Amino acid sequence: MSSEAPERFSPGWWVNDREGRPAVVFFPNPALAVWMLCLVVGWTDILEAGRSETVAAIGKGALIVWALDELVRGASPVRRILGAVVLAAQVYWLFA
């Protein structure tokens, strides 16, 4: 494997970090883990309506934090684009 960075806009450039390692899927960071936990709790219907709405709002907030983190610090262009798309969708649904 070459230590050179892939050419800009080549397939490797989109999915690799600056060291040339694949950087598309990682173990979830804390914000994404909170969102996933809120999603699972929401699916189970174990909470009453008021608390269920609170858990859903916490999950949406965590997803916005994750998207901002990916947009700013994403390891590859694909991850930064994914952060931008998720952030745009969440802001749209927040104000729609």
In the predicted structure, residue 17 carries a pLDDT above the cut 90: no
Cα(5)–Cα(35) distance, integer angstroms:
33
Q: Could you tell me the pLDDT band of residue 25, with boundaries at 50, 70 and 90?
A: low
Q: Which strand (E) or helix (H) includes residue 44?
A: helix 30-44
In the predicted structure, residue 20 carries a pLDDT above the cut 80: no
Grouping H, G, I as helix, E, B as strand and the rest as coil, residue 22 is strand
What tens digit of pLDDT does each residue of 36-87 get? Answer: 999 999 898 888 888 989 999 999 999 999 999 989 988 778 888 999 999 9
* Residues counted in the chain: 96
Domain boundaries, the chain: 30-95
Q: Global pTM?
A: 0.76
Handedness of CA 85, 87, 90, 94 (dihedral sign): negative
Q: Is the Cβ–Cβ distance between 16 and 4 less than 8 Å?
A: no
